[in-house]
């Protein structure tokens, strides 16, 4: 049967599978009707025609199970008011919607369509708002055609809006010609969505464009898992499973892609071109950089002094640096300072409390004594800020250092290199192969490069294991700091982090004077409830901090104590009130903690940046987020770039520190429970860490050192004296 209804409210929406629970006012029914099914991105105020059947749920009662559905324009005064006030039309909120419909009744839409100047009769509406309504109405009408086409092909309205934004009136023509372009051009639309559209458009299962797109998607998925390349057989097997195609067809398609330079093969390794050129570029530049003398005064004076005295170990006076900084360096730290004086490329590594920052201050002091210009950088804004606070010098994110200029790329490159004598980069374990290559392109051959990081933390989210490969190549001087200093020993966060790293269980004894707490909770539901209590009540009350100072870090995205679920309950606990913009079942309110999950070069906001929603404009369907005093605007179509960040995954927290961290560790996370993951999570806490879970799960993580190997040849390319077979450094 079919019902015609107006969406009154959205009770639940799962953006991952589209499952929704709506309360609607349906024609012929006195009470609100509950509709369930795949209705993702249906908006409050939308008028829907839904085909389906009634069922009686034992817990929730009578529900209408939606099958096929379509959105249509409302015909009643009530429906018109709901539609106009839903936020779909910019410039019209519920208040103006009521006034317009009261004035024009059932003629409202025809007035907006053909005589929009009549809206001037509505008190307070103004010419500027009328123009906004006219533009939004026209755009909405054009989008509607695309939406209707896409809905017929199983695509949500959210994706329709993105497709229209990318291609405009060419949207349908583009999709008919090659629907797989959507996966390449539009963030958030993957191969599987494009493949579904292609199937309904009549593209064959073994069409070249489909097989090509599937192979590219498979390589992209492997890159998301950290692999720089795929082994040929690995790629053929995974692509064949994805595409449900014969391996022979996959191999033939791959051969053509190699001829077309869509792929690059070196022996048994198959690369996407950007990753291949990034790997050989990184290796080649690091080797050339290490082989050239520095162009600064410290290098020339030391080189001359070593030659004149015959003392090849002559270096800077560490004692004088200690006096100037009022610090005492141990033997390894002093060695790091001395080695940095003659190093072109050097790695400084060590865990928390081992004196990386103190050592770095000594290295910087040595360079400053000779007037060297020093550049400081880190992968994230938070890491750069910490670096600035520790050194007293300006530190920038890598994107800002390289003067990111979308869509052209980076302003700093081979033609326009960085200006200075030394580049020091912190949190290098986070840097993937593509970013490292972009960075090295901008480093002139006379410049020194000091890489700082903790190799025991999680590797980069992107492809590669760059810092580890550089160290393991044994091509460059590496200083490992391994002594935990007395002051750091007083912190159980630090001592327990090192215990875990050594494969030992941490000290879980609680007490008033500790900074490391363990709360035993067996069931995920109990753990989630305890986490909410800690964030909302216990920790703010005891430590006198707002809930916003507390960060929940969890091993996984899914599950009861996963980031997605915890964000819902934490938002409801700490920021439940007020109007907000709704998108994909989530509501964004003023005061919400949010995270950017996509690099947006236009806005200069990057994946992992955390901010707070400052203002919400329901009429204009926009909001403003405060990122460390930078106010960034978003319209409703851009909200999938944001997620709530009351809780986030440990992977997403790399490079950040938080005053207080709450971290669930339970066996339902066993897939992700690894030593380096827990170690990374613990070391994000600056003041207080609270673990919630079971000793069994923690013990499992401590013992689990199984780290998935990543396909990378950077170590071999660096260690090899000459080029690898097939390597082109030109």
Identify the pLDDT of residue 72: 76
Q: What is the H or E stretch that residue 13 is in? A: strand 2-13
Which tokens in the block code for residue 273? 């071109």
Could you tell me if residue 464 is left (phi over 0), alpha (psi between -120 and 50 degrees) or otherwise beta? left
Q: In what order do the strands lie in the sheet with 264-266?
A: 230-231, 269-271, 264-266
Identify the pLDDT of residue 30: 87
- Predicted confidence (pLDDT) per residue in 368-383, tens digit: 999 999 999 999 888 8
Average pLDDT of the residues in 490-499: 90
DSSP code, position 605: B
- Predicted confidence (pLDDT) per residue in 391-432, tens digit: 999 999 999 999 988 777 899 999 999 999 999 999 999 999
Concatenate the DSSP letters of all residues of 638-675 into one string.
Answer: GGGGEEE-SEEETGGGTT--EEEEEEEE-GGGTTT--H
CB of 660 within 8 A of CB of 543?
yes
Identify the pLDDT of residue 656: 83
Higher pLDDT, 672 or 271: 271
Which percentage of the chain shows pLDDT scores above 70? 94
Angle at 579 between CA 577 and CA 580, to 5 degrees: 110
Identify the pLDDT of residue 184: 81
Residue 278's contacts (CB-CB under 8 Å, 6 or more residues apart) are: 228, 433, 434, 436, 437, 438
Torsion, Cα 452 458 461 463, to 10 degrees, reads 80
Closest CA to 378 of 360, 409, 400: 400
Q: What is the H or E stretch that residue 40 is in? A: none
Closest CA to 473 of 643, 347, 319: 347
Average pLDDT of the residues in 88-95: 80
Given a cut of 70, whether residue 722 has pLDDT beyond it is no
Q: How far apart are CA 415 and CA 156, in angstroms?
A: 44
Closest CA to 43 of 169, 158, 196: 158
- Predicted confidence (pLDDT) per residue in 103-159, tens digit: 999 888 889 888 999 999 998 888 888 988 888 888 777 666 676 676 667 666 567
Identify the pLDDT of residue 558: 84
Identify the pLDDT of residue 44: 72
Mean pLDDT of the chain: 88
pTM: 0.77
Higher pLDDT, 291 or 578: 291
Identify the pLDDT of residue 726: 46
Q: How far apart are CA 678 and CA 504, in angstroms?
A: 12
- Predicted confidence (pLDDT) per residue in 629-667, tens digit: 889 999 887 888 899 999 999 988 887 889 999 999 999
Residue 388 CA: distances (Å) to CA of 362, 382, 395, 549, 687: 15, 10, 5, 21, 19
Closest CA to 674 of 467, 501, 506, 515: 501
Longest dimension (CA), the chain: 100
Strands 269-271 and 345-350: unpaired
- Predicted confidence (pLDDT) per residue in 513-542, tens digit: 889 999 999 999 999 999 999 999 999 999
Instruction: Give first-to-last CA distance, the chain, whole Å.
Output: 67
Using DSSP, state whether 345 is helix, strand or coil: strand
CB of 110 within 8 A of CB of 85?
no
Q: What is the H or E stretch that residue 478 is in? A: strand 478-481
CB of 431 within 8 A of CB of 398?
yes
Peptide bond connecting 407 to the previous residue in cis, omega within 30 degrees of 0: yes
Identify the pLDDT of residue 729: 38
Using DSSP, state whether 308 is helix, strand or coil: helix
Given a cut of 80, whether residue 710 has pLDDT beyond it is yes
Q: How far apart are CA 322 and CA 361, in angstroms?
A: 10
CB of 337 within 8 A of CB of 447?
no
Q: What is the H or E stretch that residue 399 is in? A: helix 398-401
Q: How far apart are CA 94 and CA 84, in angstroms?
A: 7
Residue 317 CA: distances (Å) to CA of 305, 330, 335, 365: 13, 14, 11, 11
Given a cut of 80, whether residue 17 has pLDDT beyond it is no
Given a cut of 50, whether residue 602 has pLDDT beyond it is yes
CB of 635 within 8 A of CB of 641?
no
CB of 239 within 8 A of CB of 231?
no
Given a cut of 80, whether residue 35 has pLDDT beyond it is yes
Closest CA to 450 of 432, 470, 472: 470
- Predicted confidence (pLDDT) per residue in 325-337, tens digit: 999 999 999 999 9
Counted residue by residue, the chain has a size of 730
Identify the pLDDT of residue 298: 93
Higher pLDDT, 664 or 486: 664
Which tokens in the block code for residue 208? 């070249």
Q: How far apart are CA 378 and CA 385, in angstroms?
A: 9
Average pLDDT of the residues in 434-456: 95
Identify the pLDDT of residue 728: 43
Confidence label for 272 from pLDDT (cuts 50, 70 and 90): very high
CB of 333 within 8 A of CB of 358?
yes
- Predicted confidence (pLDDT) per residue in 274-294, tens digit: 999 999 999 999 999 999 999
Identify the pLDDT of residue 157: 59
CB of 373 within 8 A of CB of 420?
yes
Q: What is the H or E stretch that residue 290 is in? A: helix 273-291
User: The tokens 């005093």 sit on which residue?
Assistant: 629
Confidence label for 87 from pLDDT (cuts 50, 70 and 90): low
Q: Which parts of 476-538 fold into alpha helices (H)?
A: 486-489, 492-501, 524-533
Average pLDDT of the residues in 183-209: 84
Backbone angles phi, psi at 50, to 5 degrees: -120, 125
Average pLDDT of the residues in 257-284: 95
Higher pLDDT, 489 or 306: 306
Identify the pLDDT of residue 164: 76
CB neighbours of residue 632 within 10 Å: 19
């Amino acid at each position: 049967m079919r019902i015609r209804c107006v969406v009154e409210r959205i009770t639940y929406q799962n953006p991952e599978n589209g499952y929704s629970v709506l309360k609607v006012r349906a024609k012929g029914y006195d009470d609100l009707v509950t509709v369930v099914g795949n209705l993702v991105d249906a908006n409050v105020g939308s008028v829907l025609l839904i085909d389906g059947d009634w069922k009686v749920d034992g817990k929730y009662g009578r529900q209408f199970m939606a099958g096929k559905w379509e959105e249509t324009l409302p015909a009643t005064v009530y429906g018109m008011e709901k539609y106009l006030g839903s936020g779909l039309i910019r410039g019209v909120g519920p208040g103006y919607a009521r006034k317009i419909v009261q004035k024009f009744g059932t003629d409202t839409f025809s007035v907006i369509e053909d005589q929009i100047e009549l809206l001037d009769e509505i008190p307070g509406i103004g010419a500027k708002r009328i123009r906004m309504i006219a533009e939004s109405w026209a755009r909405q009408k054009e989008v509607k055609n695309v939406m209707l086409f896409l809905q017929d092909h199983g695509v949500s309205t959210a994706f329709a809006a993105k497709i229209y934004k990318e291609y405009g009136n060419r949207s349908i023509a583009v999709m008919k010609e090659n629907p797989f372009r959507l996966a390449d051009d539009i963030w958030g639309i993957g191969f599987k969505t494009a493949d579904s559209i292609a199937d309904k458009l009549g593209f064959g299962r073994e069409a070249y464009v489909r097989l090509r797109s599937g192979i590219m998607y498979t390589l992209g998925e492997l890159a998301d898992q950290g692999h720089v390349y795929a082994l040929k057989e690995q790629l053929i097997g995974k692509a064949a499973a994805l595409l449900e195609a014969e391996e022979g067809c996959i191999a033939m398609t791959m051969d053509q892609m190699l001829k077309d330079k869509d792929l690059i093969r070196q022996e048994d390794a198959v690369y996407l071109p950007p990753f291949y050129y990034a790997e050989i570029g990184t290796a080649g530049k690091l080797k050339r950089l290490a082989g050239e003398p520095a162009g600064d005064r410290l290098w020339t004076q030391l080189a001359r002094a070593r030659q004149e005295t015959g003392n090849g170990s002559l270096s800077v006076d560490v004692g004088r640096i200690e006096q100037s900084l009022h610090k005492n360096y141990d033997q390894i730290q002093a060695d790091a300072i001395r080695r940095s004086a003659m190093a072109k490329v050097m790695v400084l590594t060590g865990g928390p409390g081992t004196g990386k920052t103190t050592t770095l201050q000594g290295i910087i002091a040595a360079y400053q004594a000779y007037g060297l210009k020093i550049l400081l950088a880190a992968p994230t804004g938070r890491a750069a800020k910490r670096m600035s606070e520790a050194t007293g010098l300006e530190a920038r994110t890598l994107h800002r250092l390289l003067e990111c200029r979308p869509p052209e790329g980076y302003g700093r490159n081979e033609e326009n290199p960085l200006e200075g004598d030394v580049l020091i980069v912190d949190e290098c374990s986070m840097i993937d192969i593509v970013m490292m290559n972009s960075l090295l392109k901008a480093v002139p051959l006379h410049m020194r490069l000091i890489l700082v990081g903790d190799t025991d933390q999680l590797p980069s989210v992107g492809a590669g294991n760059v810092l580890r490969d550089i160290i393991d190549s044994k091509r460059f001087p590496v200083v490992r700091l391994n002594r935990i200093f007395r002051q750091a020993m007083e912190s159980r966060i630090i001592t327990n982090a090192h215990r875990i790293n050594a494969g030992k269980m941490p000290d879980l004894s609680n007490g008033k004077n500790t900074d490391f707490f363990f709360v035993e909770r067996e069931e995920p539901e109990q753990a989630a409830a305890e986490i909410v209590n800690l964030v909302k009540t216990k920790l703010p009350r005891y430590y006198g901090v707002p809930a916003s100072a507390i960060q929940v870090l969890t091993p996984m995205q899914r599950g009861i104590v996963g980031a997605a679920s915890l964000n819902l309950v934490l938002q409801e606990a700490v920021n439940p009130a007020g109007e907000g913009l709704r998108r994909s079942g989530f509501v964004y309110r003023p005061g919400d903690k949010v995270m950017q999950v996509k690099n947006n070069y236009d806005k200069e906001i990057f994946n992992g940046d955390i901010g707070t929603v400052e203002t919400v404009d329901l009429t204009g369907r926009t909001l403003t987020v405060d990122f460390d005093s930078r106010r960034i605007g978003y319209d409703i179509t851009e909200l999938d770039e944001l997620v709530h960040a009351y809780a986030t995954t440990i992977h997403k927290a790399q490079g950040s520190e938080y005053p207080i961290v709450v971290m669930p560790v339970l066996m339902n996370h066993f897939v992700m429970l690894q030593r380096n993951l827990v170690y990374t999570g613990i070391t994000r806490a600056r003041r207080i860490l609270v673990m919630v879970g079971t000793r069994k799960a923690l013990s499992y993580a401590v013992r689990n050192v199984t780290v998935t190997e990543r396909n990378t040849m950077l170590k071999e390319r660096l260690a090899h004296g000459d080029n690898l077979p097939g390597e082109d450094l030109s």
